Structures are given as C-alpha cells and as structure tokens.
Amino acid sequence: MDFKLENLMPLLVVLPLFAGIGALLLPPQRRCVCGLVCTASLVTFVLSLVLACNFDFSQSAEFQFNAWLPWVESFGLSFRFGMDSISLWLVLLTTFLMPLVVLGSYSAVTYRVREFYAWLLILEAAMIGTFLARDLIFFYVCFEFTLVPLYFLIGIWGSTQRLKAARVFFLYTFTGSMLTLAGVLYVAWLFASEQGVWTFDIGTLVAFAATTMSPAEQGWLLLALLAGFAVKVPLFPVHTWLPLAHTEAPTAGSVVLAGVLLKLGTYGMVRFALPMCPISVMQYAPVIGVVAVIGILYTALICWVQKDIKKLIAYSSISHLGFCVLGMFALNTIGIEGSVMYMINHGLSTGALFLCVGMIYERFHTRQFRELGGLMKVMPVWAFFMVFFSLASVGLPGLNGFVGEFLTLIGAFTSEHALGPRYAVMAGFGMIFGAIYILYMVGKVVFGPVTLPDTDNGDGDDVANDGASGGAGGRGRHTVRDLNLREVVTLAPLAVACLVLGLYPKPMLDTLAAPVKALVQSIAINTGYEPANHDQFDRTDDTALNAVLKSQGRIPSTE
C-alpha cells in the first residue's frame, strides 16, 4: 500500500481538529474565519475522495489503508485507523455534509463566530475518528467526545431552551455510553484473563466475544452495547432527548446531528453488537424488531400533532431510523445493506430539510405552521428544494429515500428466523403515516394561501437582515427574498446526491455486498444457524470471502 495513502487516514482526523483550533487564533471577522473553516472542510472532503478513488472495491470487506501511531502503543492501546466500504461511505457522508453546513451557517451565526466554527470542525474530527477507529478505546474516545462540541453548539447558539436541551442531550447519551464502556472493558478483561495479554484491537475482541463468551455473557454484553448505541440512534423509548435537542440546536447542529451523529449509534450496532453477540442477537432480534416498529409508528403519529416544522422533522428522524434498525436486525444481506444505505440517505435528505427550515427561520424567526403558508408564491426556489427533499424523505421512487426504505422492509419480510411479514406490514403503515405528515407539512407551508408572520424588531437589526419593510415601531409585513446564490449552492449538491442515489443505487449496493455478506455469514457460523436460503450463507464455495473473514478474525482458521 502506498505510504502516502496510509497517512491520509490520520490526516482526515488531524486536519479538521487543528483547523478548528486554528480558527480560534484568527481575527474575529466572519469572512476570515469562514474562509479558513470552509477551506479546511473542503480539503478534508477532497482527501476522503482520494481514498475513495484508491479504495479496492473488489476487496471491500477488508479494512484498507491501515495506519497506526506506534509511539503511543502501550497496555494494549493504539491509535489504529482503517476502513471497509461501510466506513468509507459514512466518512464520505461526513466530509460531504460539513462544507455545506459551514456555507449554510454563514449568515445564521452572528456572535462568537470563531468558537462556533472551531467546535464544528472538532466535532467533524471526532465523527471521522469514530468511523475509522480500529482500536476499541480509540473508538470510544471519539464516540464519546462528540458530546462535547455538540453540547456547546446547542448550549451557546441554540434557541430559548438551549441549556435544558444541552443538559438532557449530554446526560442521556453519556449515561448510556458509560454502560457500553463497561461492557467492552469486560470483553477486554476476559480476553486478557484467558490469553495473558491485553489488547483493544476491534477485530480480535469481536472474534473472541463471538466464539468464546457464553450465551448469558453475550446477552449482558448486548444489553450494555445497546444502552449506548440505542440512545444515540435513538430508539424508542430512549428517544425523548432528540426532539428537544433538534428544536433548540442551531441549524448547523441539527444538520450534523441528523446527518451524521445519529449514525454513530447504528454504526456501532453494525460494527459491534451484531458480530460480537451473534447468539444473543439471534435470540433477541424479535424483541428489538418490536421496539423498532413501535418507534416507527409511535413517532410517526406524534408528527401529526406537531405545530413546529423543525420538531416534526426531528420526530420523523426517530421514525426513519426505526426502519434502519429493523432492517439491521432482519439479519439477512438485503436488510443490512438497506440499513446501511438508509444511514446515508437519511443523512442527506433530513439534513437538507433542516437546512431549508433554517433558511426560513433566518427570514421569519418562526417555524410555526399557523404563521407560515403559501411560500411557493413568494419563495419559489426555496419551495422547489423543500418539496424535493420532502419527497425524498417520504421515499418517492426515483429518489434516494425509497431505496433504503424498500430494502429494509424486504429484508424484514424475508427474514427467516427473527422477523417476518408481520414486522414488515406494521412498519409499512409507518411509511403511510410518514407520507401523511410530510405531505401535510408541504401542503400547509409551501402551498395554499400566503401566510406570513408579522415582525417585531426591537433592536432594528432584524428588519435589515430579513428585508422587512414596516411602519412605525419597526412592525409590518415581510418583503420576502428568495434563496440567494450561497443558499442555492448549499442545497444543490444535496439534491444531486439524492437524485443520483435514487436513480442508480447499484454502485453503492455493490460495494456494501461483501462486508455485509461477511457479517451475515459470521453470525451464521457462530450460531450454527442454517437457513433455507443458502445463497446468503455459503460456507464452502465462497473461499475468498472466508479468507477475508479469517483475516479479520471474524471466524476461526481451520489450519
């Protein structure tokens, strides 16, 4: 492997980290700070594209570009980096969204600008580190450190209840993550007790837990892992922190939270819960499927009564990620492939919806349904993007949301051991409910008679920013301006990505096939389950795949 390509791995983490720290040293002018931050985020995206272009997709189940920092290795700890195709797509999602978030926040953040962008880049570094980590402690540090930047982003630049939202978010996710840490440390301790050496290598510990731990131990480990990952997703009933955090967060915080941060939970399930606890996963998959279906239906019904556009989209994220978890615990290739693709598609469409809502809030300082209506007549460009991303979120065929949603339902329907048609049918009602609340929102806000809020600009600044014209006391009707070039440039790449992945998802699905098949096969081998569909669990003919599994430590070598 080219040495320079190997060193791009830690650079993906180090570059935004040091750029964020450097932003604090710049003069406070917004243009200067945004220039550095936007450049750093774009360079990070280009570096991730370089890795993607040099990634060997014929061996997409293998962890490639492996790199580490040998001078920090001690007591089994190491800073090891690597990516398979699942990690690659999530890294690309992160680096693709971040420049758009920076660009979309240019006019929204008007105070403590350097701190805002510094925390944003530090958050990007932590998220990328989570997806690239091949050491368990390194993974956990990055996974947990994402709480700190987002805590400050919500607590300083959020809305009226920002402090409460930041505290609830931090306490919920930190408490669950501590239980996850206890579970993985137990696995490392058990390995050290039996092997006489400490290690936190993810591949080694995954293989050890899957092949050595008893069903009871795997059950407790699965509970510990889900305590942290389910809260981060979040799954019903530990979802209550998310609507408040989304509603109170600034637009950039909401986009990053929906686009990437929630995927840390689903990624943790794919990377740890499924391969480490195959017996318990097989046993409790029906229970987790029930929880996912309840979350899909319950939060979809809650969306019907929302009066705040942003809160409606926040609750819709819980419902959408229920589909993601449902497909994952179908434990078949089509379900898990659909689940991983759902992570990417949800990040694009829901992140774009939060950007659209943020652009409206900048102009009108309200997100209430009763105060907004008929915006298509006064903001046609914004209305086009809002309708487009809403249809993508609903799962309109031809757009990206349809592909992942359809695959997860097919995976649940064809699951031979855990789920089945009943789960898919009930989740299908969630699709119908989702179409109702999204289309109602579009019909109320985008179409119909024009309804604009009055403005009350006590400091006089809002009139200038919003282009409002009024009489005495600064009170009057809005003179609405449509999206400017910067805002169109922010939304256009997301629209293109949604369209491309909706019309031609085959390249992404092809790259996900090998690691997903390896995961499903490792579960089958470690549980002794022999399904009717042998194509998904071929243990003898697929010698190349078995070699990959052995090299990763996912199945024991027979030599």
Is pLDDT above 80 for 79? no
Q: What CA–CA distances, in Å, run from 428 to 352, 413, 421, 472?
A: 24, 10, 10, 54
Q: Picking from 286-300, 317-331, 390-404, 542-556, which range would have the lowest pLDDT averaged per residue?
A: 542-556
Is pLDDT above 70 for 342? yes
| 64 sits in which H/E element | strand 64-68
Is pLDDT above 90 for 357? yes
Query: Cα torsion at 279, 220, 284, 313 (round to 10°)?
Result: -130
Share of the chain above pLDDT 90, in %: 42
Is pLDDT above 60 for 557? no
Q: What is the pLDDT of residue 478?
A: 52
Q: What is the pLDDT of residue 267?
A: 94
Q: Using pLDDT thresholds of 50, 70 and 90, give the confidence band for residue 4.
A: low
Contact between 480 and 378 under an 8 Å Cβ cutoff? The reply is yes
Mean confidence (pLDDT) of the chain: 84
Contact between 406 and 513 under an 8 Å Cβ cutoff? The reply is no
Query: Cα torsion at 375, 381, 382, 388 (round to 10°)?
Result: 110
Q: What is the pLDDT of residue 539?
A: 36
Which residues, including other chains, have CB under 8 Å from residue 336's CB and lie 6 or more apart? 270, 327, 328, 330, 411, 516, 519, 520
Q: Using pLDDT thresholds of 50, 70 and 90, give the confidence band for residue 183.
A: very high
Give the integer Cα–Cα distance in Å for 305 and 556.
Answer: 53
Contact between 419 and 412 under an 8 Å Cβ cutoff? The reply is yes
HEC string of 204-249 equals HHHHHHHHHCCHHHHHHHHHHHHHHHHHHCCCCCCCCHHHHHHHHC
Give the integer Cα–Cα distance in Å for 437 and 419.
Answer: 27
Which residues, including other chains, have CB under 8 Å from residue 443's CB and lie 6 or more apart? none
Q: What CA–CA distances, in Å, run from 409 to 324, 400, 405, 426, 439?
A: 9, 15, 6, 10, 21
Give the integer Cα–Cα distance in Å for 121 and 453.
Answer: 35
Selection from 169-178, 348-357, 363-372 with the highest mean pLDDT: 348-357
Q: What is the pLDDT of residue 460?
A: 36
Which residues, including other chains, have CB under 8 Å from residue 437's CB and lie 6 or more apart? 300, 303, 304, 306, 312, 316
Q: What is the pLDDT of residue 17?
A: 92
Q: Using pLDDT thresholds of 50, 70 and 90, give the confidence band for residue 221.
A: very high
Pick from 18, 64, 24: nearest CA to 41: 18
Is pLDDT above 90 for 410? yes
Is pLDDT above 50 for 473? no
Give the integer Cα–Cα distance in Å for 134 and 13.
Answer: 14
Q: What is the pLDDT of residues 430-453, one digit of tens each?
A: 989 988 999 989 998 998 888 888
Q: Using pLDDT thresholds of 50, 70 and 90, give the confidence band for residue 529.
A: low
Q: 77: helix, coil or strand?
A: strand
Is the whole model's pTM more than 0.75, yes or no? yes
Q: Exposed, middle or buried: residue 47 (CB in 10 Å: 0-12, 13-18, 19+)? A: middle
Residues in a beta bridge with 67: 81
Provide the token pair at 557: 């070598």
Contact between 125 and 220 under an 8 Å Cβ cutoff? The reply is no
Which residue is associated with the tokens 């050890």?
208
Which residue is associated with the tokens 């243990």?
539
Q: What is the pLDDT of residues 231-241, one digit of tens each?
A: 998 888 888 88
